[in-house]
Amino acid sequence: MISVIMSVYNEPISLIEQSVRSILQQSLKDFELIVVIDAPNRKELIDCIDRISRQDKRIVKIINKQNIGLTASLNKAVDLAKGEYIARMDADDCADPKRLEKELGFLLKNDLDLVGCDIVNMDMNGKNADAPTIYPKGPESIKEYLRYNSPMAHPTWLGKVELFKNNKYIDFPACEDYEFLVRLTLQGKRIDNLGDVLLRYRLNDSGVSSTKRAIQKTSLSYVRRNYKKSMVSNYSDYIQYLDSSKGKHKTFVIEKYYKTTKKMKDYKKQKKFFAFAGNGITLLCNPYFYESMYCLIKSKRIQKRAGRNR
């Protein structure tokens, strides 16, 4: 009934095994788990998947000839999917045993095209955060929320198979999921979140540089701007924008924002309060600070209103 798609690359073997087993232990048993190995030279990774697949024949193992990235690997899994529905899963997260059962039931009951759920963050050691991350509820609230932020956690998705086969992922840097949701919404698809915490999401952004994060946020800002104009974002147009003086300035401003926030965190730990205050003034002069705060405030208002109306 369900094809669960997962791409694995450089995640620790122990975490990959936890993630895979959290799917194999689902209460809903009628599924296949398509694991695309995007690191063909990691013999220990291939051996790990082989070992588990000998115990459970629902695993479909695909080894890329070379590293092709997350987006292309997911599209390959979508092409191979045999289920009526497709569910996403990341290689270092852990799913609740009833995740697939509850999400599918919610989708069918409410005549939806795609569903997600709430999550709880955990660190690399598996320690959960104190409070879960709550996403907006209701298709109309999600359409409005998209104008400011992503309304669904990508590794929680479950949707109709034709939705994925007819709308392949496009390689927008670190916001391929946001662009995907924008496209679906502009097509009039019905999207909603189930109000249960059904996934433990692994936080691991220590290696993300300010430069890479800036490009990610420039990408998101570009797609968001087009969505407000009811436009589908074109990848080649985005690359042109990124290389333009306007796009380069946007990336520069965002990169400076993240470098400043990192300095402030460091100075706070070191108790260098004058340096902390000086960088705070620099942050207040950065236009991206106001853009991010505006989107955050609008998102929270939409979510609060949706909670009252649900």
Rounded mean pLDDT, 106-131? 94
The pLDDT tens digits for 158-198 are 999 999 999 999 999 889 999 999 999 999 999 999 999 99
Other CB atoms within 10 A of residue 1 CB: 13
In contact, 288 and 126? CB cutoff 8 Å: no
In contact, 236 and 185? CB cutoff 8 Å: no
Whether residues 193 and 215 share a domain: the answer is no
Listed residue (117, 141, 110, 112) closest to 306, CA to CA: 141
In contact, 260 and 279? CB cutoff 8 Å: yes
The pLDDT tens digits for 285-309 are 999 999 999 999 999 999 888 664 5
Strand partners of residue 120: 200
Domain-terminating residue out of 202, 236, 251: 202
In terms of residue numbers, what domain contains 294?
210-309
Task: For the chain, state the CA radius of gyration.
Answer: 20
Which structure tokens are listed for 33?
Answer: 């788990």
Whether residues 285 and 250 share a domain: the answer is yes
In contact, 173 and 70? CB cutoff 8 Å: no
Whether residues 172 and 280 share a domain: the answer is no
pTM, two decimal places: 0.93
pLDDT surpassing 50 at residue 274: yes
Task: Please state the domain count of the chain.
Answer: 2
Whether residues 231 and 139 share a domain: the answer is no
